[in-house]
A and B are shown apart, each in its own frame.
Chain A
């Protein structure tokens, strides 16, 4: 594989893959944050 094809493929797949993976992770973590919100501490009687 020539260097230009290699470099462009790495840029598109590598950076694209990184952005996409982290975006999906941010969505999943935002969802989990809503699914398991921090509960306020119960006051002792």
Chain B
């Protein structure tokens, strides 16, 4: 009888024992709490960090079965991440939420969106130099897209064991854009350049052009980089629904209910991949470091492209808008507006920066699509 009671009680203490045995779980529990703190108290991407943080805690409680064969997060993971469905559904919502008008009013800002992707490829080279396998290096480079769903899509497909580190890096650095970008912007530009006042974007864009945009981008992008068509097609489907104005129920569902439910599931699944034994490694720190480098390089190349456009246009472009050529929408555009106004109160860069930022959104998807198609062309992926 006494033995049975002791055995029964030992079942209640085994979790604590296991926590002492594998200290990595204890560290990840702290990481989970840190993510919750950042999301709740510091308002850093709370929609993602709260479910990610909680998922991390759930998965790191010893003997937790949430990611086991029939665990509830495993079921969600298999249904939405392993099948790449969740990032694509998020993309429909992003397309439905985004106004590409400022980009279409000044199509040259597509080039700023392209320059903002340089970080992906240079980081890929760095990761290779540090000894990462080729597909792991691709997944690490994609952090430079500054685009969570794109990073998740590519990583879950080609380097699923890095999903936790890559996703956390992508979303964390996106929320740190207001801290990371301004010093780089100041370092690369002169006072005169920063003070440049750009003419207001007065050119209105017709509804026909706005509706043709998603169709043209889908067909053209799909022909050039068919491997990335799911990414491109879903964001453009969302945008076509928005611009056509005839399926407002679907548009609202995509940007609200669907996006919200998928964000919750996506966050939980990412958090649950951050299990101590797989996450507490030097490799994770290197990935986080490379992700930081990628986003710095994106900003550098964006600003340099802005400087080039300034030269070509005879000084009409403020190179600061180049920093908005990344996918962190609309945060990067706001950072540019704030920085520009700091140097010249008459400078109103927001709409120009929004164009570059929308270009960055298209650019990140195109970069991933091109990357996958080049990999397929080389026979590295099927």
Nearest CB on B from A12, distance (A): 9
B128 touches A29 (CB 8 A): no
**In chain A, what residue has the closest Cβ to B132?**
A3
The contact string, 1 if C-beta is below 8 Å from chain B, for chain A 1-20, is: 10110111111011101110
* Complex partner residue of B220 from A8, A11, A28, A33, CB under 8 angstroms: A28
Given contacts A11-B125, A22-B110, contact A29 B209 (CB under 8 A): yes
Q: How far is the CB of A15 from chain B (nearest CB, A)?
A: 5
- Among A14, A15, A30, contact of B107 (Cβ-Cβ < 8 Å): A30
Give the chain B neighbours of A11 by CB distance below 8 A. 121-122, 124-125
A22 touches B114 (CB 8 A): yes
The reply to whether the CB of B179 lies closer than 8 angstroms to some CB of chain A is no
For the A-B complex, the count of residue pairs with Cβ-Cβ distances under 8 Å equals: 122
Secondary structure at the B interface, as helix, strand, loop or mixed, is helix
Which residues of the other chain, A, contact B137 by a CB distance below 8 angstroms?
A: 7
Task: Decide if A29 touches B104 in the complex (CB within 8 Å).
Answer: yes
Please give the number of chain B residues whose Cβ is less than 8 angstroms from any Cβ of chain A in the complex: 50
The verdict on B20 contacting chain A, using a C-beta distance below 8 Å, is no
Q: Cβ of B205 < 8 Å from any Cβ of A?
A: yes
Distance (whole angstroms) from the CB of B204 to the closest CB of chain A? 4
A37 touches B206 (CB 8 A): yes
If the complex has contacts A7-B128, A18-B366, A22-B359, are A29 and B121 also in contact, measured as CB distance less than 8 A?
A: no
- Please give, as numbers and ranges, the residues of chain B lying within 8 Å of A25 by CB-CB distance: 107, 110, 216-217, 220-221, 362, 366
A29 to B203 Cα, complex, angstroms: 14
Taken residue by residue from 360 to 382, chain B's Cβ proximity to chain A (1 for < 8 Å, 0 otherwise) reads as: 00110011001101110110100
C-alpha gap A4/B370 in the complex (Å):
19
Whether A7 and B370, one on each chain, are in contact in the complex, defined by CB atoms closer than 8 angstroms, is no
Q: Is the CB of A23 within 8 A of B378?
A: no
Identify 18 residue pairs between A and B in the complex whose beta-carbon atoms are under 8 Å apart, listed by A's number: A1-B380, A6-B380, A7-B124, A7-B129, A10-B124, A13-B374, A14-B367, A14-B370, A15-B117, A15-B367, A18-B370, A22-B110, A22-B366, A25-B216, A25-B221, A26-B111, A29-B110, A38-B206
Beyond the given pairs A7-B129, A26-B107, A33-B203, 7 more chain A to chain B contacts, judged by CB atoms under 8 angstroms and listed by A's residue number, are A11-B122, A14-B120, A14-B124, A17-B373, A18-B370, A21-B370, A36-B208
